[in-house]
């Protein structure tokens, strides 16, 4: 399993250097601030103020892939600049296919400092010692995912366009919440359409990190970065980028830098 020192900004319970990402709004409910899922680890040499002001990439795999071939694309993407994590999302694959993909791709991500997150399957995430799991609205319930993974791994939750759903997830101990879709996506039909103000409100009033999802590209991500998204979840804008995944990652990080939110 990837050590917390290498997770580089994703929330986890394993690092002794806990501290909140942001000061909570004075009107926010005080009982939120002590939840274990609302703490972040920061990389060595990164100050608290610097860590509050970054947007990082949260990569998701294509919905179908040959892990041997995709490994080269992943290596190229990780060579393009800062990447927080890779989520393995193979909804139509069998368990053995998911196991094989994990055994090939997880070491590549972790050796380069990116967390490896399993989509929906906390049972396989625990078995394969992934860094965490992401659960959607129709996936495994958060409580079951946490039970299977324990307190020391990442559990993130899709919340659509609902701040209420995100508050419920945060109160339960979720390590991050994901909002979206912000734009139309060719990967998945969107049930909800979120607005950047949701990110701004969330980032100003809670310490739980937020992930923006849905149709995000280098050209349209600016308002989400400006609104305070901690992570941008991207698929096609990386793996289908005309100049390749390395250039795609580099260009996203260039956008983050223009807004003063690039990771050190």
Residue 224 falls inside a structural domain: yes
Mean pLDDT, rounded, for 68-75: 99
Indicate which CATH number applies to the domain containing 15: 3.20.20.70
Whether a cis peptide bond, with omega within 30° of 0, leads into 181 is yes
Residue 176 φ/ψ, nearest 5 degrees: -155, 160
Residue 241 falls inside a structural domain: yes
Q: Is 28 exposed, middle or buried (0-12, 13-18, 19+ CB in 10 A)?
A: middle
- Give the range among 47-61, 155-169, 247-261 with minimum mean pLDDT: 47-61
Residue 2 has a pLDDT of 42
Residue 51 has a pLDDT of 53
Residue 264 falls inside a structural domain: no
Q: Summarize pLDDT for 131-147 with one digit per residue, the tens.
A: 999 999 888 999 999 99
Residue 52 has a pLDDT of 56
Q: Summarize pLDDT for 145-154 with one digit per residue, the tens.
A: 999 999 999 9
Instruction: Name the residue among 263, 260, 247, 254 with its Cα closest to residue 113.
Output: 263
User: Is pLDDT at 236 greater than 80 in this prediction?
Assistant: yes
Residue 174 falls inside a structural domain: yes
What does pTM read for this prediction? 0.84
Q: Summarize pLDDT for 23-46 with one digit per residue, the tens.
A: 333 233 333 333 333 233 434 454
Instruction: Name the residue among 172, 209, 212, 173 with its Cα closest to residue 195.
Output: 212
Print the domain residue range for 235: 4-22+30-258
Residue 263 falls inside a structural domain: no
Domain count for the chain: 1
Count CB neighbours of 112 within 10 A. 15
- Give the range among 66-70, 100-104, 192-196, 249-253 with minimum mean pLDDT: 192-196
Residue 64 falls inside a structural domain: yes
Mean pLDDT, rounded, for 111-131: 98
Residue 81 falls inside a structural domain: yes
Residue 157 falls inside a structural domain: yes
């Amino acid at each position: 399993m990837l050590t917390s020192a290498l997770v580089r900004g994703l929330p986890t319970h394993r690092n002794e250097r806990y501290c909140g990402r942001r000061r909570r709004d004075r009107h926010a409910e005080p009982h939120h601030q002590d939840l274990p899922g609302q703490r972040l680890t920061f990389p060595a040499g990164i100050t608290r103020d610097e860590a509050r002001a970054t947007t990082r990439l949260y990569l998701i795999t294509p919905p179908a892939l040959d892990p041997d071939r995709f490994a080269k694309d992943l290596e190229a993407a990780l060579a393009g600049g800062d990447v927080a994590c890779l989520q393995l999302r193979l909804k139509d694959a069998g368990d053995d296919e998911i196991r094989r993909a994990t055994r090939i791709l997880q070491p590549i991500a972790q050796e380069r400092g990116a967390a490896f997150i399993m989509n929906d399957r906390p049972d396989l995430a625990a078995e394969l010692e992934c860094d965490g799991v992401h659960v959607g609205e129709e996936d495994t319930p958060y409580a079951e995912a946490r039970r299977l993974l324990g307190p020391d791994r990442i559990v993130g939750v899709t919340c659509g366009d609902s701040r209420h759903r995100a508050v419920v997830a945060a109160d339960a101990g979720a390590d991050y919440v994901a909002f979206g879709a912000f734009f139309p996506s060719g990967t998945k039909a969107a049930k909800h359409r979120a607005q950047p103000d949701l990110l701004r409100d969330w980032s100003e009033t809670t310490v739980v990190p937020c992930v923006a999802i849905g149709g995000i590209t280098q050209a349209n991500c600016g308002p989400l970065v400006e609104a305070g998204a901690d992570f941008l979840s991207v698929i096609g804008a990386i793996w289908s980028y005309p100049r390749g995944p390395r250039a795609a990652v580099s260009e996203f990080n260039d956008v983050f830098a223009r807004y003063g939110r690039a990771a050190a």
